[in-house]
Amino acid sequence: MKEIIAELIAKSSGMKKEEISNLIEIPPTPELGDFSFPCFSLSKKMKKSPNIIAEELKKKIKTGKEIERIETKSGYLNFFTNKKIYSENIISEVLKEKENYGKGNEKKKQKIAVDFSAPNIGKPMHIGHIRSTILGDSILKIFDFQGHEVIGINYLGDIGLHIGKLIVAYELWLDKDSLKKDPVQELLRLYIKFCDQEKTEYQEGLEEEFQDNEWTNKAKEKLLLLEKGDEKTKKIWKEIQDSSKKGFNRVYSLLNVNFHETTGQSLFSEAGKKIITEALKKGKAKLEKDGAVYVEFPDMPKKYILRSNGTSSYITYDIGAAVERFKKYKFDKMIYVTDFRQELHFKQLFEILKLFGYDFYSKLYHIGFGTVNFGNEILATRKGKVILLEDVLKKTIEKAEEEIKKRKTKGDADKIGVAAVKYAFLKNEPRKDVNFSWEQALNFEGNTGPYLQYTYARANSILRKSGKTPKAKISFSLKKEEFELIKKLSEFPEQVRHSSLQLNPSIIANYSFELAQKFNEFYHSSQVINSENEEEKLAIVKAFMFVLKSSLSLLGIEVMEQM
């Protein structure tokens, strides 16, 4: 319909159809029509007031069978569609395209890499990684749906001071049986034990890197041994990695998240160092007296990019990884998804790449997300100072199970629990903090994942109970709630586009919620089964199911036929 309107305006205004299409809005209230076109941008070009332009356009445009009338108001052209024709078009289109409805067939297909999840070997995934995992996965799905080529990259923190610490602890205190039984737990115990020792000698206010105490130094020595390729140290490192990955994979399979590439940071050490050495030669990086290499910026603190003992640090690997990935993929965009506290790190990284002459720096983006608050709810299984991702998921699934029993309904507790967690995170804009509460996340009536799943199942039960075949036709006059639902369905392609342009899945989450609400209003106001136009109304229900399913799939949420 938007296309039709854009075409009509194009004929009468001389503007390009595509340009118009981007400007057309959906008015906030039905009194302002079904679509409206703001004339403000034409005003400058034509040197006339928007009101006058609107009036003139109104006179010129010949309405066809799809558009009933046009009104003008405060510089807008408001289009009132023929509701029957319009609705029938939408319903037929959805039922014809099914799960492909709303898919973009971008002519300018891009290659988009997303670096997300990226937990650290030897440490369990914590709640910060859950946001990265869920957010990154959703962004990837949205771009994929838009028709782009996507590459999901899991960049494991397999090297760094924490690895040095773990190797020290492993040699001193490993309990082999525990490692076999619960590798994640045993590695966490070792890590915490090391940190406790180290903390007693910690210098307040000094960054970890620069701590000069017996324990931190031991960890640094192990790191150096590892970089030199010491066999014994390498063997322990490998064992730690294997145990750790088992734990990560358990979480990924619970969340149903996959990657196209999983690579450890360590792989990029050499590449990073080589680039830095070159930059040093060209005078783009500077040498400290103690041998450390740094870069200075006009508007940011200086950044060390190589340690004085020659070993790599977090940014060394990132420099190498970015360059290698660009060589490999020639991406149009690469998006890093991490906690907002790494914002400076990425700003510096992008600036460094620019300074070193890598033009692809302009294709790099960072999404920094806020923190997750659990309020007063303390996890019974809280271990040490971290809240573990796996514990949160398991507890949510347990609670979903209780809820299913209480309500005597059907449904898959795993799917409901995972939906509850994913939705609770994704409905918030990435930058915002999330206040997580189980009660809220699992509420079947609120703005939650389970509510959306439940609404889908409710729609399905109408189709099941009726048993008749949906018919994509509208021959009756539509009630307000029916038309509003259909209009909401038609917004889906646009919403996907917005969320991809803004790198913001919360747009899809909010849309899903609004759509489900429109459906529930329809459900309460309009009889489907045994009504005069049963087949036609079933088609509306069926179309709703396709769109909600697609929309939720972009958030990584699965629906169920029954709940």
Binding window for ligand ARG (CB under 6 A); candidates: 64-72, 112-120, 439-447, 483-491: 112-120
Which residues in the 46-85 window bind ligand ARG by CB under 6 A? none
Q: Which C-beta is closer to ligand ARG: that of 129 or that of 415?
A: 129
CB-facing half-sphere around the CA of 483: CA atoms within 13 A: 17
Smallest distance from ligand ARG to CB 557, Å: 24
Instruction: Name every residue whose Cβ is closer than 8 Å to that of residue 15 and which is 6 or more positions away in sequence.
Output: 9, 42
Smallest distance from ligand ARG to CB 338, Å: 5
Residue from 24, 54, 118, 353 in contact with ligand ARG (CB under 6 A):
118
* DSSP 3-state of 137: helix
CA 510 – CA 427 distance, rounded (Å):
6
Q: Answer for the pair 470, 538: CB distance below 8 angstroms, yes or no.
A: yes
Smallest distance from ligand ARG to CB 486, Å: 43
Q: Which C-beta is closer to ligand ARG: that of 135 or that of 459?
A: 135
Smallest distance from ligand ARG to CB 135, Å: 12
Beta strand extents in 179-332 (DSSP E only): 261-264, 286-287, 293-295, 303-306
Residue from 34, 88, 115, 227 in contact with ligand ARG (CB under 6 A):
115
Which residues in the 201-220 window bind ligand ARG by CB under 6 A? none
Q: Which C-beta is closer to ligand ARG: that of 354 or that of 497?
A: 354
Binding window for ligand ARG (CB under 6 A); candidates: 116-124, 461-469, 472-480, 501-509: 116-124
CA 502 – CA 92 distance, rounded (Å):
30
Q: Is 336 in the site for ligand ARG (CB under 6 A)?
A: yes
Q: Is 133 in the site for ligand ARG (CB under 6 A)?
A: no
CA 165 – CA 309 distance, rounded (Å):
17
How many chain residues touch ligand ARG (CB under 6 A)?
A: 9
Phi first, then psi, for residue 434 (nearest 5°) are: -110, 130
Q: Which C-beta is closer to ligand ARG: that of 163 or that of 421?
A: 163
By C-alpha distance, which of 124, 153, 345 is closest to 260?
153
Q: Which C-beta is closer to ligand ARG: that of 117 or that of 448?
A: 117
Q: Answer for the pair 110, 146: CB distance below 8 angstroms, yes or no.
A: no
CA 239 – CA 236 distance, rounded (Å):
5
CA 271 – CA 278 distance, rounded (Å):
11
Smallest distance from ligand ARG to CB 118, Å: 4
By C-alpha distance, which of 274, 271, 307, 267 is closest to 290?
307
Smallest distance from ligand ARG to CB 194, Å: 18
Binding window for ligand ARG (CB under 6 A); candidates: 64-72, 117-125, 172-180, 301-309: 117-125
By C-alpha distance, which of 300, 305, 339 is closest to 320?
305
Edge-to-edge order in the sheet of strand 111-115: 261-264, 149-156, 111-115, 333-339, 364-369
* DSSP 3-state of 370: coil
Smallest distance from ligand ARG to CB 352, Å: 13
Smallest distance from ligand ARG to CB 314, Å: 7
CA 224 – CA 230 distance, rounded (Å):
9
Amino acid at 291: G
Which residues in the 134-193 window bind ligand ARG by CB under 6 A? 155, 157
Residue identified by tokens 């903090």 is 433
Binding window for ligand ARG (CB under 6 A); candidates: 111-119, 201-209, 355-363, 524-532: 111-119
Smallest distance from ligand ARG to CB 318, Å: 5
Residue from 338, 396, 428, 455 in contact with ligand ARG (CB under 6 A):
338
For 45, 173, 194, 306, 307, the CA distances from 202, given in Å and listed in that order, are 66, 21, 12, 23, 20
Binding window for ligand ARG (CB under 6 A); candidates: 115-123, 385-393, 499-507, 524-532: 115-123
| Burial zone of 196 (CB within 10 Å; 0-12 exposed, 13-18 middle, 19+ buried) | exposed
Smallest distance from ligand ARG to CB 433, Å: 17
* DSSP 3-state of 30: helix
Smallest distance from ligand ARG to CB 228, Å: 23
Q: Answer for the pair 525, 512: CB distance below 8 angstroms, yes or no.
A: no
Q: Which x/- pattern over 280-319 shows residues binding ligand ARG (rule: CB under 6 A)?
A: --------------------------------------x-
Binding window for ligand ARG (CB under 6 A); candidates: 102-110, 118-126, 244-252, 304-312: 118-126
End-to-end CA distance of the chain: 35
Q: Which C-beta is closer to ligand ARG: that of 157 or that of 450?
A: 157
Radius of gyration of the chain (CA): 28
Residue from 120, 244, 269, 316 in contact with ligand ARG (CB under 6 A):
120
Q: Which C-beta is closer to ligand ARG: that of 430 or that of 450?
A: 430
Q: Which C-beta is closer to ligand ARG: that of 259 or that of 336?
A: 336
Q: Which C-beta is closer to ligand ARG: that of 114 or that of 416?
A: 114
Q: With the C-alpha atoms ordered 382, 387, 390, 394, is the resulting torsion angle positive or negative?
A: positive
Tokens representing 84?
Answer: 């029957």
Smallest distance from ligand ARG to CB 364, Å: 10
Q: Is 320 in the site for ligand ARG (CB under 6 A)?
A: no
CA triple 52-58-64, angle to 5 deg: 170
Q: Which C-beta is closer to ligand ARG: that of 389 or that of 485?
A: 389
Provide the binding-site residues for ligand ARG, judged by CB under 6 A: 115, 118-120, 155, 157, 318, 336, 338
